[in-house]
């Protein structure tokens, strides 16, 4: 897109070089790529999300949280459909007292009068203190972050950009909530006063289960080609030592994992394998029985070409469906995640799985609210105030 031409040189750089542009010392200035979510930062955000969650259990805690960022305003610019990301960001803002406003249909903004998207973003930055954006165009959030950096370097008004899904590229805040869910699942910390944590209970039945994200096998299933949540989560998990990533999808070029993603994951030293059925085996063992966590996704049919439509009619999609028989083959502790929405027609996770104790997807969506609130506290440099509130309880 011509509007992005001025950033072409910056866009071309390797990802590792780019990351520096979105940091300010130890802190994030913008969140554009999942690779910014390092294990250390995730640990910090996890603790903050837990504090927000605990504080919000009482009316007093809620009222204190509402003061924390009451002087801030957020713009939610979502020109692509969204339910969970939009609502959980809005709820996160409300928890922290951040006032928010939204543009969801650019036809109702001056884009309808041929205003450029970049002008719209710069205008939002005049009125708001953070821009949370989801757009169909890849690279758009990244370019907005470069624009904000340029303004900052000239000591002009500049605000943080949060990428809430950019085309088929990346979805880093989904990776954040997925990681928060996995970290909680594989942790001994979460005993509610009298109740033992689920992890400790499961560990007594399966002693091979160890805490943490490292040294585990993660299985991803569905649309590996177009699902931005899979890419973002895989880049994040890939930073931990000794992880095995199993990708299950039809072996169609639209649907299987792309070469570039595989290259980046190999560079992280992740052990990656691809399969075309959930019933496949690896080293003589069913892959489903080897997975420590299973991440399901839907087939993103809205992006199909006419050729895809015709090719897909010949694919047996039941191979990518997690029915109760397949769930029965999984480890007793392995959580089932899904970014949602799930496809109610294809049924990659039928509702018959919902009551299984491993079905984590509704909790995962709620975790998005706490994790996104923690991200906002971090971006606005209010972590110390949050610690004080939490410790003073
Ligand atoms: C996903 C997305 O938009 O990338 N949804 C979400 O944010 N939870 C996944 C999808 O649309 O399938």
C-alpha 228 to ligand 1 mean position (Å): 8
Do 166 and 194 fall within a single domain? no
Do 372 and 254 fall within a single domain? no
Residue nearest to atom 7 of ligand 1 (CA): 85
Do 294 and 336 fall within a single domain? yes
Do 203 and 94 fall within a single domain? no
Whether residue 100 lies inside any domain: the answer is: yes
At 192-220, the pLDDT tens digits run 655 678 888 899 999 899 999 999 999 99
261: phi > 0 → left, psi -120 to 50 → alpha, else beta; which?
alpha
The CA dihedral of 372, 375, 377, 379, to the nearest 10 degrees, is -140
pLDDT for residue 191: 61
Mutational pocket test of ligand 1: of 223, 229, 346, 361, the residue with most ligand atoms within 8 Å of the beta carbon:
229
Secondary-structure percent of the chain, ordered helix, strand, coil, rounded to 5: 50, 15, 40
C-alpha 227 to ligand 1 mean position (Å): 8
Atom of ligand 1 nearest to the CA of 223: 12
Do 203 and 232 fall within a single domain? yes
State how far Cα 64 lies from the chain centre.
Answer: 27
Mutational pocket test of ligand 1: of 104, 165, 225, the residue with most ligand atoms within 8 Å of the beta carbon:
165
Domain count, the chain: 2
C-alpha 340 to ligand 1 mean position (Å): 6
Of 189, 141, 162, nearest in space to 43 by CA: 189
Atom of ligand 1 nearest to the CA of 368: 8
Range of the domain at 198: 172-365
Do 83 and 178 fall within a single domain? no
Residues 6+ apart with CB under 8 A from 160: 28, 29, 30, 31, 130, 131, 148, 379
Whether residue 391 lies inside any domain: the answer is: no
What residues of the chain score a pLDDT lower than 50? Answer: none
Distance CA 338, CA 361 (A): 5
Q: Ligand 1 pocket: which residues have CB below 6 Å? A: 84-85, 165, 171, 174, 228-229, 298, 300, 339-340
Do 91 and 143 fall within a single domain? yes
Average pLDDT over all residues of the chain: 95
Whether residue 118 lies inside any domain: the answer is: yes
Whether residue 65 lies inside any domain: the answer is: yes
Q: For residue 231, what is the domain's CATH number?
A: 3.40.50.1370
C-alpha 165 to ligand 1 mean position (Å): 8
Whether residue 320 lies inside any domain: the answer is: yes
Whether residue 327 lies inside any domain: the answer is: yes
Atom of ligand 1 nearest to the CA of 339: 8
* Axis crossing angle, helix 361-379 with helix 84-95, rounded to the nearest 10: 50
C-alpha 175 to ligand 1 mean position (Å): 11
Residue nearest to atom 6 of ligand 1 (CA): 339
Distance CA 70, CA 58 (A): 19
Do 223 and 79 fall within a single domain? no
C-alpha 59 to ligand 1 mean position (Å): 32
pLDDT for residue 351: 97
Distance CA 358, CA 327 (A): 9
HSE-up of residue 172 (Cα within 13 Å, Cβ side): 19
Do 17 and 41 fall within a single domain? yes
Whether residue 390 lies inside any domain: the answer is: no
Do 126 and 165 fall within a single domain? yes
Secondary structure (3-state) at 102: strand
C-alpha 341 to ligand 1 mean position (Å): 7
Do 278 and 135 fall within a single domain? no
Distance CA 366, CA 255 (A): 28
Do 361 and 317 fall within a single domain? yes
Question: What's the whole-model pTM score?
Answer: 0.96
Whether residue 393 lies inside any domain: the answer is: no
């Amino acid at each position: 897109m011509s509007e992005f031409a001025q950033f072409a040189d910056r866009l071309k750089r390797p990802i590792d070089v780019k990351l520096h542009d979105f940091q300010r010392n130890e802190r994030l200035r913008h969140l554009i790529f999942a690779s910014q979510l390092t294990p250390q930062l995730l640990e910090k955000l996890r603790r903050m999300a837990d504090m927000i969650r605990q504080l919000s259990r009482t009316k007093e805690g809620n009222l204190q949280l509402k003061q924390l960022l009451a002087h801030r305003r957020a713009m939610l610019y979502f020109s692509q459909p969204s339910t969970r990301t939009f609502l959980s960001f809005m709820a996160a803002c409300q928890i922290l007292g951040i006032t928010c406003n939204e543009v969801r249909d650019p036809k109702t903004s001056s884009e309808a009068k041929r205003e450029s998207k970049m002008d719209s973003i710069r205008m939002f930055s005049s009125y708001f203190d953070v821009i949370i954006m989801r757009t169909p165009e890849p690279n758009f959030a990244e370019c907005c972050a470069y624009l904000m950096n340029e303004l900052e370097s000239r000591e002009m008004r500049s605000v943080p950009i949060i990428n809430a899904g950019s085309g088929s590229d990346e979805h880093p805040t989904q990776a954040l909530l997925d990681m928060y869910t996995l970290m909680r699942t594989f942790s001994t910390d979460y005993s509610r006063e009298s109740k033992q944590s689920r992890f400790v209970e499961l560990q007594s039945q399966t002693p091979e289960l160890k805490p943490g994200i490292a040294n585990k096998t993660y299985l991803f299933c569905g649309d590996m080609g177009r699902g931005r949540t899979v890419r973002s989560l895989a880049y994040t998990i890939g930073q931990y030592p000794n992880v095995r990533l199993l990708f299950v999808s039809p072996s169609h070029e639209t649907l299987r994992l792309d070469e570039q993603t595989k290259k980046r994951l190999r560079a992280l030293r992740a052990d990656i394998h691809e399969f075309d059925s959930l019933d496949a085996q690896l080293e003589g063992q069913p892959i489903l029985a080897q997975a420590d966590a299973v991440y399901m996704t839907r087939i993103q049919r809205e992006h199909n070409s006419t050729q895809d439509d015709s090719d897909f009619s010949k694919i047996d999609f039941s191979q990518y469906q997690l029915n109760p028989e397949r769930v029965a083959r999984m480890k007793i502790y392995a959580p089932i995640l899904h970014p949602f929405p799930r496809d109610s027609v294809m049924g990659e996770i039928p509702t018959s799985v919902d009551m299984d104790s491993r079905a984590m997807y509704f909790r995962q969506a709620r975790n998005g609210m706490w994790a996104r609130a923690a991200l906002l506290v971090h971006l606005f440099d209010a972590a110390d105030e949050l610690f004080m509130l939490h410790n003073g309880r």
